[in-house]
Structure 1
Amino acid sequence: MLDATMRRLIDPALNRMGRALAARRVPADTVTLIGLGLGLVSAAMIALGWPLAALAPLLASRLADGLDGAVARASEKTDFGGYLDITADFLFYGAVPLGFVLHDPAGNGAAGAFLLCSFYVNGASFLGYAILAERHRMETTARGAKSLYFTGGLLEGTETIAFLAALCLWPAAFPPLAWVFGALCFVTAGSRVLLAFRVFG
């Protein structure tokens, strides 16, 4: 819901940093992999019981996730780069909740499973829509120039990052936050299915 607004705020700074990295011949895929590595470090720290300390690599990971596209736009965009980026994103978004489940399976297991199921369904609705949009030659830059067609929704990247940061700040609240956020993810997926029916049905 907030991604389009956030992109207008952060893109100028990201594009400046992206041009600087591209001038130093830093590949966009390298930035993507660094961001993924930071995200997995964050998830591991959560699993070990250090959620507050995990917040720093988590946020750095999301900064890298924004930078890789800026580097690609300043140098060379590739289909593989877009593919690698979305795959890394999905791994990151699954790894952080998994870290909370691994840290406390008894307390966080059910809520974590529900949350991951909602991510799975939401991701499927997102990628399925992107495939159909590509087939119909649809384009949008509302959420920045992307390799895939990005549909809006109740929950987008901005809300998800804020949610994961909140989990790091208040780890004891993982179960209720996960149940609520997971339910909202299902609402987002359902609204996207309805949108697909209206557009492609």
Structure 2
Amino acid sequence: MLDGAAKSIIQPTLDRIGRGLAGWGVSANHVTLVGLLIGVFAGAAIVAEQFFAAFVLILVSRALDGLDGAVARATAPSDFGGFLDIVLDFAFYGLIPLAFIIQDPQQNGIAGGLLLLSFYVNGASFLAFATIAQKRGLSTDARGVKSFYFTTGLAEASETLLVFLAFCLLPGYFAWIAIVFAILCFYTTLSRIVEARSLFADAD
């Protein structure tokens, strides 16, 4: 929901930095991999209950996630780069809730598991929608130039980032925040199913 507004604000800066990195020979895939590595460090910081450090590392990781696309646009976007980006994004999105579950399994286990389930279902609907859209030759630039059909929703990357940062600022409220966000993710999945039913339905 917030991705469009966030993109319009930060994209020009990311594009300038991306062109600079591309000029130095840095590839988009390098940026993607470093972004995930920093995300792993954020997860380790959460397990160690270093929540402020995790907060900063999550911000850096997601900044790099936006920057890899800028580098790709400044060079030559590739199908493999798009594939790697989405796979590692999903790895990051699962990593942070898992870290909170490990940090306090008794307090965070059920809510964290519910959140991971909602991510799993939401991600499946996102990728399945993109696959069928590509099969039908559909395209969209709702979130800029992407390697696949990118559907919008109530729970997108910006909302997920804000929730992860809230987890770090208010770790004692992880369970409540996770449950509310899981509901929003399930709602996003339902809305995507409704959209798919309208867009993909074959004539009887």
TM value normalised by structure 2: 0.97
Stretch deviating more after TM superposition (46-55 or 62-71): 46-55
Partner of 1:107: 107
Instruction: Give 1:26's aligned residue.
Output: 26
1:50 is displaced (CA, Å) by 1.1
Question: What are structure 2's unaligned runs of at least 5 residues?
Answer: none
Range with greater deviation from structure 2 (47-56 or 155-164): 47-56
Map Cα deviations across residues 15-62 of structure 1 (whole Å, 9 max, x no partner).
Answer: 111100001110110000000001111011101111221111110000
Aligned to 2:65: 65
Alignment of 1:184 onto 2:184: yes
* CA deviations over 1:135-182 (Å, ceiling 9, x no partner): 122222221211121101111111110010010100000011111100
Q: Distance in 2 between matches of 1:116 and 1:9?
A: 29
Q: Select between 43-52 and 99-108 the one with higher mean Cα deviation.
A: 43-52
- Once residues 117 and 62 of structure 1 are traced to their aligned partners in structure 2, the CA distance between those partners, rounded to angstroms, is 22
**Alpha-carbon distance between aligned partners in 1 of 2:12 and 2:5, rounded to the nearest angstrom:** 13
Correspondence for 1:140: 140
Once the two structures are TM-superposed, the CA of residue 3 in structure 1 deviates from its matched residue by 0.8
Cα shift at 1:7: 1.1
Distance 1:153 1:105 in 2: 30
AA aligned to 2:54 is A
Deviating above 3 A after TM superposition, structure 1's stretches of 4 or more consecutive aligned residues are: none
What is the distance in 1 between the residues matched to 2:39 and 2:135?
A: 32
- 1:160 maps to 160
Deviations 1:90-144 (A, max 9, x none): 0000000000000000010000000000000000000000101111222222212
CA deviation after TM superposition for structure 1 residue 72, in Å: 0.4
**Residue equivalent to 1:54:** 54
Structure 1: runs of 5+ lacking an equivalent? none
* 1:176 partner amino acid: W
Computed over aligned residues only, the root mean square deviation of the Cα atoms, in angstroms, reads: 0.7
Q: Partner of 1:189: helix, strand, or coil?
A: helix
Percentage of identical aligned residues: 50
Task: Give the C-alpha shift of residue 187 in structure 1.
Answer: 0.5
